[in-house]
Homo-oligomer: A and B are copies of this chain.
Amino acid sequence: MARPTIADIANRAGVSKGAVSFALNGRPGVSKETRARILEIAEQMSWRPHSAARALGASRVDSVGLVIARPARTLGVEPFFAHLFSGLQSGLSAHSISLQLLIVEDTEAEIEVYRRWSSEHRVDGVILVDLAVKDPRVEAVKALELPAVVIGGRGGKGALPSVWADDRDAMLSIVEYLAALGHRRIAHVAGTPNFQHTQRRIRAVRDAAPRLGLIDAPSLPTDFSDAEGAAITRKLLSQAVRPTAIVYDSDVMAVAGLGVAMEMGVAVPGELSVVAFDDSILTQLMHPALTALSRDTFDFGRQAAEVLLEVIADPTTVINRRTADPVLTVRESTAPPA
């Protein structure tokens, strides 16, 4: 017998298919003894449900999807997605739900994937990352009635369920720390302003500047690439009056910036303090090791998984779960200004 079906089990147990189904799914309709006997036989025949058959009858696939819209080249170096993925997986595996991953070029392609997944019944729900300001994906998944959870984007009115960390507070903690060290000229090498989280960080810097008595606190947008991170840094350090501290919106940009500082002979942290808004092995590999904001991305993923499961169970629920606050890990790249 290659692969037992519930019919085989029913046969062996001398009951009907229905009874077996009831027993295996722990629902009423069979006596305690019969249930035990069926479970025993199923175990013994090492039966496993055929996922497709189950998906066809009931309308769930026990699978959720994650689409990342970024050029593959830039992926991989950022541990963010790997950790997020692991966290999601860990939150899902407890419920035997699998996770589908797809990397696409842009948001348009991403929406096309949702459309396909939805119509082919390949996933029960999806996770949205990197939310933009007026993100078309929100409307798209709503129109498809595809359960979804937004990561990192705080849902506004009528918005999707979300899991988020307080970017604003996190950024404030960085700037306040630098100000406390004595820095007054702090530059912020930001990400793409189109992203909601980037906007929140930029706003945080702008709002805190007067209160902390900062003389100059520009936020400079980039595309998150190491190239632009390096270019902006070069520009900043070429000015007559240089910033004494730079906050980078990603670890990769921070590393690139550190490289530029070394190349230009600017001592870190002697003449320049460097902070990365995201932690990873990368920041620790550097010399000097970078002060960085650590977020528990794994836990982020796990919580997102939980929320998504709730949304799938009841699509009307809207949860906005706030995760643990990021903490600043101080290393060797920050010091009082000269």
Contact = CB atoms under 8 A, between A and B. Distances in A.
Interface of A: 3, 46, 48-53, 55-56, 61, 72-83, 85-86, 89, 98-103, 116, 119-122, 226, 252, 255-256, 259, 262-263, 280-282, 284-287, 298
Contacts of A281: 73-74, 77, 226, 252
Given A72-B86, A76-B79, 20 more contacts: A46-B119, A48-B119, A51-B52, A51-B122, A52-B55, A52-B56, A52-B121, A72-B83, A75-B86, A76-B76, A77-B281, A81-B82, A82-B103, A98-B122, A99-B100, A100-B100, A226-B284, A252-B281, A259-B287, A263-B287
Contacts of A72: 82-83, 86, 298
A285 B252 contact: yes
A273 to B, nearest CB: 19
Contacts of A252: 281, 285
Contacts of A49: 120
Given A259-B286, A286-B259, A121 B76 contact: no
A85 B56 contact: no
Contacts of A103: 82, 85-86, 89
Contact of A50 (B56, B100, B101, B287): B56
A243 to B, nearest CB: 20
Contacts of A119: 3, 46, 48
Contact of A77 (B74, B79, B98, B102): B79
A76 to B, nearest CB: 3
B98 A100 contact: yes
Contacts of A82: 72, 75-76, 81-82, 103
State the main secondary structure of chain A at its contact with B: helix
Nearest to A46: B119
Contacts of A79: 75-77
A264 to B, nearest CB: 11
28 contacts: A46-B119, A48-B120, A50-B56, A50-B120, A51-B55, A51-B120, A51-B122, A52-B52, A52-B53, A55-B55, A56-B56, A72-B83, A74-B281, A75-B79, A75-B82, A76-B77, A76-B79, A76-B81, A76-B83, A77-B79, A77-B282, A81-B82, A89-B102, A99-B102, A226-B281, A226-B284, A252-B281, A259-B285
Contacts of A73: 83, 281
Nearest to A47: B119
A226 B285 contact: yes
A103 B85 CA distance: 9
A139 to B, nearest CB: 18
Contacts of A255: 285
A24 to B, nearest CB: 14
Contacts of A122: 51, 98
A280 B76 contact: yes
Contacts of A101: 85, 99, 101
Which residue, of A83, A101, A263, has the highest number of chain B Cβ atoms within 10 A? Answer: A101
Contacts of A116: 48
